[in-house]
Structure 1
Amino acid sequence: MSYSLSAACCWIILAAILAAIPSNDNHWRRAYFLMALGLPIVVWVYVNDGLMWGLAVTAAAASIFRWPLRYLWSWFLRHVKTRAE
Protein backbone atom coordinates (compact mmCIF):
# COMPACT_ATOMS: atom_id res chain seq x y z
CA MET A 1 0.00 0.00 0.00
CA SER A 2 1.36 3.41 -0.91
CA TYR A 3 1.92 6.20 1.57
CA SER A 4 -0.91 8.24 0.09
CA LEU A 5 -3.44 5.43 0.57
CA SER A 6 -2.14 4.86 4.09
CA ALA A 7 -2.63 8.55 4.84
CA ALA A 8 -6.17 8.37 3.41
CA CYS A 9 -6.99 5.37 5.60
CA CYS A 10 -5.61 7.15 8.67
CA TRP A 11 -7.68 10.21 7.74
CA ILE A 12 -10.84 8.09 7.58
CA ILE A 13 -10.07 6.52 10.97
CA LEU A 14 -9.44 10.02 12.41
CA ALA A 15 -12.79 11.18 11.01
CA ALA A 16 -14.57 8.24 12.67
CA ILE A 17 -12.88 8.96 16.01
CA LEU A 18 -13.71 12.66 15.85
CA ALA A 19 -17.33 11.87 14.99
CA ALA A 20 -17.63 9.67 18.08
CA ILE A 21 -16.60 12.46 20.46
CA PRO A 22 -19.51 14.67 21.63
CA SER A 23 -19.53 18.25 20.36
CA ASN A 24 -21.35 21.48 21.19
CA ASP A 25 -21.33 22.83 17.62
CA ASN A 26 -22.56 19.68 15.83
CA HIS A 27 -19.02 18.81 14.76
CA TRP A 28 -18.60 21.77 12.37
CA ARG A 29 -15.15 22.80 13.67
CA ARG A 30 -13.97 19.23 13.28
CA ALA A 31 -15.46 19.07 9.80
CA TYR A 32 -13.53 22.20 8.77
CA PHE A 33 -10.34 20.66 10.18
CA LEU A 34 -10.95 17.40 8.32
CA MET A 35 -11.66 19.26 5.07
CA ALA A 36 -8.42 21.22 5.36
CA LEU A 37 -6.49 18.06 6.12
CA GLY A 38 -8.30 15.80 3.65
CA LEU A 39 -8.09 17.86 0.47
CA PRO A 40 -4.29 17.55 0.08
CA ILE A 41 -4.54 13.84 0.88
CA VAL A 42 -7.16 13.30 -1.83
CA VAL A 43 -5.02 15.18 -4.36
CA TRP A 44 -2.00 13.13 -3.26
CA VAL A 45 -3.95 9.91 -3.86
CA TYR A 46 -4.98 11.07 -7.35
CA VAL A 47 -1.38 11.93 -8.24
CA ASN A 48 0.25 8.81 -6.80
CA ASP A 49 -2.31 6.08 -7.30
CA GLY A 50 -4.42 7.13 -10.23
CA LEU A 51 -8.01 7.86 -11.08
CA MET A 52 -9.67 4.73 -9.69
CA TRP A 53 -8.16 4.99 -6.21
CA GLY A 54 -8.71 8.74 -6.26
CA LEU A 55 -12.40 8.24 -7.01
CA ALA A 56 -12.63 5.65 -4.24
CA VAL A 57 -11.11 8.05 -1.70
CA THR A 58 -13.33 10.87 -3.00
CA ALA A 59 -16.40 8.67 -2.50
CA ALA A 60 -15.25 7.82 1.03
CA ALA A 61 -14.74 11.52 1.80
CA ALA A 62 -18.17 12.35 0.36
CA SER A 63 -19.79 9.75 2.59
CA ILE A 64 -18.06 11.29 5.61
CA PHE A 65 -19.12 14.83 4.61
CA ARG A 66 -22.66 13.99 3.55
CA TRP A 67 -24.30 16.74 5.64
CA PRO A 68 -21.93 19.56 4.62
CA LEU A 69 -22.36 18.47 1.01
CA ARG A 70 -26.15 18.57 1.36
CA TYR A 71 -25.95 22.09 2.81
CA LEU A 72 -23.63 23.15 0.00
CA TRP A 73 -25.97 21.67 -2.62
CA SER A 74 -29.06 23.38 -1.16
CA TRP A 75 -27.17 26.69 -0.92
CA PHE A 76 -26.10 26.32 -4.55
CA LEU A 77 -29.65 25.57 -5.70
CA ARG A 78 -31.06 28.55 -3.79
CA HIS A 79 -28.56 30.89 -5.45
CA VAL A 80 -29.15 29.47 -8.92
CA LYS A 81 -32.91 29.88 -8.52
CA THR A 82 -32.63 33.47 -7.32
CA ARG A 83 -30.38 34.42 -10.24
CA ALA A 84 -32.76 32.78 -12.74
CA GLU A 85 -35.66 34.94 -11.58
Structure 2
Amino acid sequence: MSYSIVLACLWALAATVIAMIPSRRRHWPQAYVLIAIGIPLLGYVTYENGPLAGLVVFVAGASILRWPLIYLWRWVKRQFGTSASKP
Protein backbone atom coordinates (compact mmCIF):
# COMPACT_ATOMS: atom_id res chain seq x y z
CA MET A 1 0.00 0.00 0.00
CA SER A 2 1.38 3.40 -0.91
CA TYR A 3 2.29 6.08 1.57
CA SER A 4 -0.45 8.42 0.33
CA ILE A 5 -3.18 5.81 0.82
CA VAL A 6 -1.93 5.19 4.37
CA LEU A 7 -2.10 8.94 5.05
CA ALA A 8 -5.63 9.09 3.61
CA CYS A 9 -6.69 6.22 5.89
CA LEU A 10 -5.18 8.01 8.89
CA TRP A 11 -7.05 11.17 7.86
CA ALA A 12 -10.33 9.22 7.74
CA LEU A 13 -9.60 7.65 11.13
CA ALA A 14 -8.81 11.06 12.64
CA ALA A 15 -12.02 12.49 11.16
CA THR A 16 -14.01 9.66 12.71
CA VAL A 17 -12.45 10.21 16.13
CA ILE A 18 -13.06 13.96 15.89
CA ALA A 19 -16.71 13.32 15.05
CA MET A 20 -17.14 11.30 18.24
CA ILE A 21 -15.87 14.11 20.49
CA PRO A 22 -18.62 16.52 21.65
CA SER A 23 -18.28 20.08 20.37
CA ARG A 24 -20.12 23.30 21.14
CA ARG A 25 -19.46 24.74 17.69
CA ARG A 26 -20.83 21.69 15.86
CA HIS A 27 -17.34 20.66 14.69
CA TRP A 28 -16.87 23.54 12.22
CA PRO A 29 -13.32 24.46 13.36
CA GLN A 30 -12.33 20.82 13.13
CA ALA A 31 -13.93 20.58 9.69
CA TYR A 32 -11.85 23.53 8.47
CA VAL A 33 -8.67 21.78 9.64
CA LEU A 34 -9.74 18.51 8.01
CA ILE A 35 -10.46 20.34 4.74
CA ALA A 36 -7.10 22.15 4.85
CA ILE A 37 -5.29 18.86 5.32
CA GLY A 38 -7.55 16.81 3.04
CA ILE A 39 -7.28 18.85 -0.16
CA PRO A 40 -3.48 18.52 -0.55
CA LEU A 41 -3.74 14.90 0.57
CA LEU A 42 -6.31 14.26 -2.16
CA GLY A 43 -3.92 15.75 -4.71
CA TYR A 44 -1.10 13.57 -3.40
CA VAL A 45 -3.21 10.41 -3.61
CA THR A 46 -4.28 11.30 -7.16
CA TYR A 47 -0.70 12.06 -8.20
CA GLU A 48 0.73 8.88 -6.71
CA ASN A 49 -2.06 6.38 -7.45
CA GLY A 50 -4.02 7.80 -10.37
CA PRO A 51 -7.41 9.43 -10.89
CA LEU A 52 -9.50 6.40 -9.91
CA ALA A 53 -7.90 6.20 -6.45
CA GLY A 54 -8.26 9.97 -6.17
CA LEU A 55 -11.95 9.70 -6.96
CA VAL A 56 -12.41 6.98 -4.34
CA VAL A 57 -10.65 9.09 -1.70
CA PHE A 58 -12.70 12.14 -2.74
CA VAL A 59 -15.98 10.24 -2.33
CA ALA A 60 -14.84 8.94 1.07
CA GLY A 61 -13.88 12.45 2.19
CA ALA A 62 -17.12 13.90 0.86
CA SER A 63 -19.11 11.36 2.83
CA ILE A 64 -17.27 12.38 6.00
CA LEU A 65 -17.49 16.14 5.34
CA ARG A 66 -20.94 16.17 3.78
CA TRP A 67 -22.32 19.27 5.54
CA PRO A 68 -19.63 21.66 4.29
CA LEU A 69 -20.32 20.34 0.78
CA ILE A 70 -24.08 20.78 1.20
CA TYR A 71 -23.61 24.37 2.37
CA LEU A 72 -21.19 25.04 -0.51
CA TRP A 73 -23.71 23.63 -3.00
CA ARG A 74 -26.49 25.81 -1.57
CA TRP A 75 -24.25 28.88 -1.73
CA VAL A 76 -23.32 28.18 -5.38
CA LYS A 77 -26.98 27.70 -6.29
CA ARG A 78 -27.85 31.01 -4.60
CA GLN A 79 -25.03 32.86 -6.35
CA PHE A 80 -25.80 31.58 -9.83
CA GLY A 81 -29.54 31.07 -9.43
CA THR A 82 -30.34 34.70 -8.56
CA SER A 83 -28.25 36.25 -11.31
CA ALA A 84 -29.65 33.93 -13.99
CA SER A 85 -33.27 34.67 -13.06
CA LYS A 86 -32.95 38.44 -13.47
CA PRO A 87 -34.06 39.78 -16.87
> 1:56 and 1:82 mapped to 2: Cα distance?
33
In the alignment, structure 2 segments of 5+ residues that lack a partner are none
Structure 1 position 65, deviation (Å): 1.1
The letter of the residue matching 2:42 is: V
Output one character per residue of 1:3-62: Cα deviation in whole Å (capped at 9) or x when no partner.
000000000000000000000111000000000011111000000001111110000011
Larger mean CA deviation between 74-83 and 10-19 belongs to: 74-83
The letter of the residue matching 1:13 is: L
1:67 match: 67
1:27 match: 27
Structure 1 position 81, deviation (Å): 1.5
Structure 1 stretches of 4+ with a deviation exceeding 6 A read none
- Within a 5 Å distance, the mapping from 1:1-85 to structure 2 comes to 1-84=1-84, 85=86
In the alignment, structure 1 segments of 5+ residues that lack a partner are none
> 1:82 and 1:52 mapped to 2: Cα distance?
35
Aligned length: 85
> 1:65 and 1:58 mapped to 2: Cα distance?
10
Q: What fraction of aligned residue pairs are identical, expressed as a percent?
A: 47
TM-score w.r.t. length of structure 1 = 0.97
TM-score w.r.t. length of structure 2 = 0.95
